[in-house]
Structure 1
Amino acid sequence: MTPHFKADPAFDPGSIVVCDWPLCQVRLQDDTRFPWLILIPRREGLHEIADLDPAGRAALMEEIVRAGDVVRMLAEAAHRPVQKLNVAALGNVTAQLHVHVVGRRHDDGLWPDPVWGRGAALPYGPAALQAAASRIRLSQAG
C-alpha cells in the first residue's frame, strides 16, 4: 500500500470514508436511494483493474464480494433487501481506479437503468450518515 495514499478529491462531496480494508479505502455514497459503497485501492497511479498485479486483482475481487455483503446488510437494516448488486469500475468522471458496489431493487425508481449520473442524490443527513458508517464499521469488527 502507498503510505500517503490520497483519494481523488472528487469523491469527497458525495461520499465519506468509512474504513480501510487490506487493499481498499471504503467509502459510503451519501445517497439514501441506494445502499452504495465505493472501493478505492490504496495504491497510487491506478486507472484500470489491469494496473493491479495478480495478487491485487484477487484482493480487489474479495473486497468486492465483502462490500456486497455489507451493502446487503445496510439494505436489510433499512427493511429494503437488495434484489441485485451492481458492480462497476467506470472511471469516466474520476480516472482513479475505484469500484462501485450498489444494491438495487426493482422498485428503486431508476430500475432497470444504471444509477451513475442519474437523478439527484437524496443525502442521509449528518446523523444518519454517521450511523450508517458506524453500522458498517461494527459489522466488520472482529
Structure 2
Amino acid sequence: MVADFKADPAFDAGSVVVCDWPLCEVRLQDDGRFPWLILIPRRSGLHELEELTATERAALMDEIVRAGDLVRALGEAAGRPVQKLNVGALGNVTAQLHVHVVGRRHDDGLWPDPVWGRGAALPYGANTLQAAVSRLRLLARDATAK
C-alpha cells in the first residue's frame, strides 16, 4: 500500500470507513435505501481501472465479490434480502478510482433505474449507522479468518 493514500474528502460527506482490505478501503454509503459499499483502492492518484496492475485488478475483483457478500448480509439483517447486486466504477463526480457495490430489490423505489443521482440519500441515523458498521466489521473479519 502507498503510505500517502488518502480517500478524496468527498467520500466523507456520504460514507463511513468500515475497514481496510488488502487492496481497498471499504466504506459504507450512508443511504438507508440500499445496502451499499464503496471500495477505494489504496493507491494514490488512480482514476481508471487500467491504472491498476493485472494482479491488483484480480484482487479488486475478489474484493468486489467479498463486498457483495457483505451487502447481501446487510440486506438480510435489515429484513430486505438483496435480489440483485449492482457494481459500478463511474467516477463522474469523484474522479478517484472507486467501485460501488449496491444491493437492489425489485421493490426498492428506484427499480429498475440506477441509484446514482436519483433522489436524496436517506441517512441511517447515528445508532443504525454504527450498528451497521459494527456488523460489517465483524463479518469482514470473520470472512478474512476463513
TM-score by length of 1: 0.98
- Runs of 4 or more off by more than 2 Å in structure 1? none
The runs of 5 or more residues in structure 1 that have no matched partner are none
1:86 corresponds to which residue?
86
1:65 corresponds to which residue?
65
Per the TM alignment, residue 4 of structure 1 is displaced from its structure 2 partner at its CA by 2.5
2:106 corresponds to which residue?
106
- Report the AA paired with residue 29 of structure 2: Q
* 2:3 aligned counterpart, secondary structure: coil
Note the aligned Cα RMSD (angstroms).
0.6
- Report the AA paired with residue 86 of structure 1: N
The runs of 5 or more residues in structure 2 that have no matched partner are none
TM-score by length of 2: 0.96
* 2:127 aligned counterpart, secondary structure: helix
Question: CA separation in 1, counterparts of 2:82 and 2:8?
Answer: 29
- Report the AA paired with residue 100 of structure 1: H
Per the TM alignment, residue 45 of structure 1 is displaced from its structure 2 partner at its CA by 1.0
Aligned length: 142
* 2:22 aligned counterpart, secondary structure: coil
Question: CA separation in 2, counterparts of 1:22 and 1:110?
Answer: 33
- Tell me the percent identity: 79
* 1:102 aligned counterpart, secondary structure: strand
* 2:25 aligned counterpart, secondary structure: strand
* 1:94 aligned counterpart, secondary structure: coil
1:134 corresponds to which residue?
134
* 1:4 aligned counterpart, secondary structure: coil
